[in-house]
Amino acid sequence: MRRIVQVGLGPVGVSLARTVVERVGLELVGAADSSPDLAGRDLGEILGLGRFGVLVGADAGEVVDATNPDIVLHATSSHLPEAEAQIRALLSKGVSVISTCEELSYPFYRHPALAQELDAIAVDRGVILLGTGVNPGFVMDKLVATLLGACRSVDRVRVRRVVDASLRRGPLQKKIGAGITVSEFEDRARAGRIGHVGLAESAHMLADVLGVGAERVVSERLAPRIAERAARTDFVLVEPGQVAGVEHLVVVEAGGRERVRLALEMFVGAQSSVDEVAIDGSPSLEMTIPGGIHGDQGTANVVVNCACLLDRLAPGLRTMLDVPLRLALEAR
Amino acid sequence: MRRIVQVGLGPVGVSLARTVVERVGLELVGAADSSPDLAGRDLGEILGLGRFGVLVGADAGEVVDATNPDIVLHATSSHLPEAEAQIRALLSKGVSVISTCEELSYPFYRHPALAQELDAIAVDRGVILLGTGVNPGFVMDKLVATLLGACRSVDRVRVRRVVDASLRRGPLQKKIGAGITVSEFEDRARAGRIGHVGLAESAHMLADVLGVGAERVVSERLAPRIAERAARTDFVLVEPGQVAGVEHLVVVEAGGRERVRLALEMFVGAQSSVDEVAIDGSPSLEMTIPGGIHGDQGTANVVVNCACLLDRLAPGLRTMLDVPLRLALEAR
């Protein structure tokens, strides 16, 4: 039985903790969140599962000291510089950490020095640090890398993910700018406060898999998707002409040739969610997942399956390229 | 640089060896085949790559002694009892073995005692034994298991693979009975000398992933696919009313419910090859690979990618569930 502590009880953290509770082989022994709305309350009640008799702590380190978990599931920030002090402290206590921090999923290009430091701490303490989720972590990188396992050489891989954000959590709808004006979108885009985090991480992972060298050129483009008709969700109202969401594109080129193209269209009112992969190579391959893989629940599922498989990894900072991912319901 | 010896130079072995030659990081240092047509000939000439100055040996053990490889790629038989003496001898020499022997891909149910013995030898010698290929090994098991990594629970998984055997190697067309009569098909089916080997192995792997217990009931059905019109390949002529190939079905049930259904339709004249996965679960998912993944070249690609990743595995008898499969062109 692996003992789990959940750090961060926003929508993603709550989804993680609920998924831990239902998974045989994992035991949710504690949780922490710095928000005064959550700290001190009963964990089971926050999860909507009835009273557990376990109170949410305000300080992650104190919860870990009191509960001695094997693994912390960490869901506080998309950005590694905001998450790293806490992750560093948790690793130093000798506990493995799986984080949904998007920039941690493949941090070797955006945060190379930080990646090296965190790896050194994890190796030193004999524990594992892994950043994952459904995107980044699965649908636009790990699943694609696995499909590429049937290839001998590849010129280019293209992945397109269309997500109907109407069905997603409120913070995500805000993160993609649903309901704001185009000029607000542009202001936020300039400030780096809009869009999906992690697409460049997925692109770098795939570029590595393809053997693209350090001469790679990565370009990123973020554009608003404009609503053609009004749309209302549980969280926002989008008027025609307002922003419905984002179109986010990352391209990796090398030697003047396009090698990786990741296109994420995430907006309120998308008619048909889909995940599509097109490989130009030997052999060329196409893969389609009609309806796409739902993000919020998918993240919890990927994280919890990784938690069950974590003892297969060597200590250090690992990525999804290291994980033999699968549904992990059995013990073989 | 990993040193590779190829054992078995039938169509699959030749495809493996050619793929090794073109892969940076692998070096083909020798080969063995017991056939008098091959032993003593120049390896490069057999591969259609010009003279290597390396002769094919008749005895795998002698070739290994002379060349000291890290890994043997083994492609001699679909059936583990026919391959096991040679595999055992190779492991005992302290060399890792990746075999395309279909029954080795997940041998814990058809050959449990043999699986245990081979595991013990590999552990004792600190080497790895892995059975893989495109099917079994990838398209109806590993790729599906990876997709299941986005799920929390699954009622049933169905995989359907349609292969136009017209485009496949001659021995495969014969193995599926293309061009024989229905009564010949039935005779051969009774003798276990027809059809695809490995479908039950894939089904057991997926049943394990789903957490289906030992109470599982596995049923297998092999039926001839009758040609409606004449078809000619490079190897056989199929007349209307003759057998065009096989329809092979394996179903795993538990507690009266169907949990895994694998359907393989492999025949000369199939109009549209395809690989399809349908998951009933949380979440339900569908995946389609139009055109399907080509078998012969796919097997070589999967095996060679596994060879590049082999040092990530613990010693012993491993399966594709242990391999973090991907295209392995880089060194990270």
| CA geometry: angle B84, B77, B206, nearest 5 deg | 85
Kindly state whether residues B167 and B266 are assigned to the same domain: yes
Residue B328 lies in a domain: no
Q: Using CB atoms and an 8 Å cut-off, which of residues 44-83 of chain B contact chain A?
A: none
pLDDT tens digits for B268-314?
988 889 999 999 999 999 999 999 998 889 999 999 999 999 999 99
Residues in CB range of B275: below 8 A, 6 or more apart: B139, B140, B159, B160, B161, B162, B288, B289, B292, B293
Residue B193 lies in a domain: yes
A288 touches chain B (CB under 8 A): yes
Residue B182 lies in a domain: yes
Residue with the two structure tokens 């929390």: B152
Please state, in angstroms and rounded to a whole number, the distance separating the CA atoms of residues A138 and A324.
12
Question: What CATH code is carried by the domain that includes residue A273?
Answer: 3.30.360
Which pLDDT belongs to residue A332? 39
- DSSP β-ladder status, A26-32 and A2-7: parallel
Which pLDDT belongs to residue B79? 95
pLDDT tens digits for B45-66?
999 999 999 999 999 999 999 9
CB A196 within 8 A of CB A264: yes
Residue range A122-151: mean pLDDT, rounded: 98
CA atoms within 13 A on the CB side of A281: 27
Kindly state whether residues A273 and A306 are assigned to the same domain: no
Residue A328 lies in a domain: no
Q: Best interface-test mutation with B: which of A26, A130, A147, A318 has the largest number of B CBs within 10 A?
A: A147
Kindly state whether residues B120 and B149 are assigned to the same domain: no
Kindly state whether residues B171 and B252 are assigned to the same domain: yes
Residues in CB range of A161: below 8 A, 6 or more apart: A135, A139, A140, A262, A263, A264, A265, A266, A274, A275, A276, A292
Kindly state whether residues B287 and B303 are assigned to the same domain: no
CA distance A184 to chain B (A): 35
pTM: 0.96
Kindly state whether residues A126 and A172 are assigned to the same domain: no
Kindly state whether residues B271 and B159 are assigned to the same domain: yes
Nearest Cα residue in chain A from B207? A330
Kindly state whether residues A254 and A276 are assigned to the same domain: yes
Kindly state whether residues A120 and A254 are assigned to the same domain: no
Which pLDDT belongs to residue A330? 66
Instruction: Read off the amino acid at residue B120.
Output: A
Which pLDDT belongs to residue A171? 80
Residues of chain B with pLDDT under 50: 331-332
CA distance A228 to chain B (A): 29
Average pLDDT for chain A? 95
A29 touches chain B (CB under 8 A): no
> In this predicted complex, what is the ipTM?
0.96
CB B11 within 8 A of CB B296: yes
Task: Verify whether the Cβ–Cβ distance A151 to B330 is below 8 Å.
Answer: no
Structure tokens at A213: 């060298």
Please state, in angstroms and rounded to a whole number, the distance separating the CA atoms of residues B135 and B200.
11
Question: What CATH code is carried by the domain that includes residue A129?
Answer: 3.40.50.720
Kindly state whether residues A125 and A157 are assigned to the same domain: no
Residue A196 lies in a domain: yes
Please state, in angstroms and rounded to a whole number, the distance separating the CA atoms of residues A28 and A22.
10
Kindly state whether residues B123 and B183 are assigned to the same domain: no
| Structural domain boundaries, residue A279 | 142-293
Please state, in angstroms and rounded to a whole number, the distance separating the CA atoms of residues A80 and A103.
6
Residue range A59-81: mean pLDDT, rounded: 97
Please state, in angstroms and rounded to a whole number, the distance separating the CA atoms of residues B221 and B217.
13
How many domains, in total, are found in chain B? 2
